[in-house]
């Protein structure tokens, strides 16, 4: 007669009906199945009781593996002063909670503005059951070079790079101020080549005609080289130019400036005083 059969332990259970109470003749047998369903990771213990005998049960629970990442970039334009997003797509919906890590490396001049929007060049992102992707905003700063993104999830990784090409100077704002005997022009912008040098300023009267002597040119290469060498702001700059005026400064109505670096030239909009 098959004795009473029972299983102890929260992670172990009998499947179906056990043959307890059945009479077995010579060469006959009965069978039963124990199911192991771990509710946590690690070594888990239970026991099997057959009548007056007990047998230890041992199982190991492991978390489901985290998904494997594929790295994509959502960036409208591969250029400086842009905002984009690093998209980490999973090969399957996440089955468990975990954490991934994304890092950003820049091969080029020092530029702290090239970073994730969360701050810094390394960011951890949470993974919850059912997640299909993670989105991490970033900004491209104001320096030319190569930005490389690397994502690590468990033992799997993915990588993607984008090249920020050298470009003519970018102009953010231009302002013109008239005072007694002086015209001042202020320009904010960025030069991702850090080679800004040739400057040209043209002044116009109220009818839009250039005022003699026409374009006033200067080479500020040395000044900008010294500035960028000591700047921690990437390619960002603020240019202030003051022009003494002999005669009636009120006749000058507007100004236009052209800035040139190794990649080309950029002209400001005509700015009124």
Q: d(Cα 217, Cα 210) in Å, to the nearest integer?
A: 14
DSSP-based three-state secondary structure for 21: coil
Summarize the confidence of residues 50-74 as an average pLDDT.
95
DSSP-based three-state secondary structure for 229: helix
Q: What is the mean pLDDT of the chain?
A: 95
| Nearby residues of 66 by Cβ (< 8 Å), 6 or more positions away | 94, 96, 98, 100, 127, 153, 154, 156
Would you say 263 and 168 are in contact if contact means Cβ atoms under 8 Å apart? yes
pLDDT digits (tens, 9 = 90+) for 238-273: 999 999 998 888 899 999 999 999 999 999 999 999
pLDDT digits (tens, 9 = 90+) for 194-203: 999 999 999 9
Q: Provide Rg for the chain, Cα atoms.
A: 36
DSSP-based three-state secondary structure for 34: strand
Q: d(Cα 21, Cα 269) in Å, to the nearest integer?
A: 97
Closest C-alpha to 186, from 194, 196, 198, 178: 178
> For the whole prediction, is pTM greater than 0.85?
no
For residue 179, what pLDDT is reported?
86
Helix-strand-coil split of the chain, %, nearest 5: 5, 50, 45
Summarize the confidence of residues 80-92 as an average pLDDT.
97
Closest C-alpha to 273, from 243, 246, 236, 237: 243
User: Which parts of the chain fold into alpha helices (H)?
Assistant: 221-230
């Amino acid at each position: 007669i098959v004795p009473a059969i029972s299983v102890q332990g929260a992670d172990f259970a009998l499947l179906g009906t056990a043959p307890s109470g059945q009479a077995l003749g010579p060469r006959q047998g009965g069978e039963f199945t124990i199911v192991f369903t771990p509710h946590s990771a690690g070594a888990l213990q239970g026991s099997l009781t057959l009548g007056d005998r007990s047998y230890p049960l041992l199982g190991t629970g492991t978390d489901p593996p985290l998904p494997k990442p594929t790295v994509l970039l959502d960036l409208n334009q591969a250029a400086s002063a842009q905002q984009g997003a690093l998209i980490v797509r999973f090969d399957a919906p996440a089955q468990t909670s975990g954490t991934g890590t994304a890092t950003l490396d820049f091969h080029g001049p020092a530029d702290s503005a090239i970073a994730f929007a969360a701050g810094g060049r390394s960011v951890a992102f949470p993974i919850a059951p059912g997640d299909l992707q993670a989105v991490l905003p970033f900004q491209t700063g104001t320096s030319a070079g190569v930005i490389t993104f690397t994502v690590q999830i468990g033992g799997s990784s993915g990588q993607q790079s984008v090249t920020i090409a050298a470009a003519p100077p970018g102009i953010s704002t231009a302002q013109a101020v008239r005072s007694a005997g002086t015209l001042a022009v202020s320009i904010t912008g960025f030069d991702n080549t850090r080679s800004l040098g040739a400057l040209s300023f043209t002044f116009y009267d109220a009818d839009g005609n250039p005022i003699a002597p026409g374009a006033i040119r200067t080479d500020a290469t040395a000044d900008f080289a010294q500035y960028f060498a000591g700047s921690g702001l990437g390619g960002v700059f603020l240019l202030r130019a003051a022009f003494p005026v002999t005669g009636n400064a009120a006749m000058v109505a507007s100004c236009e400036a052209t800035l040139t670096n190794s990649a080309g030239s950029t002209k400001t909009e005509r700015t009124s005083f």
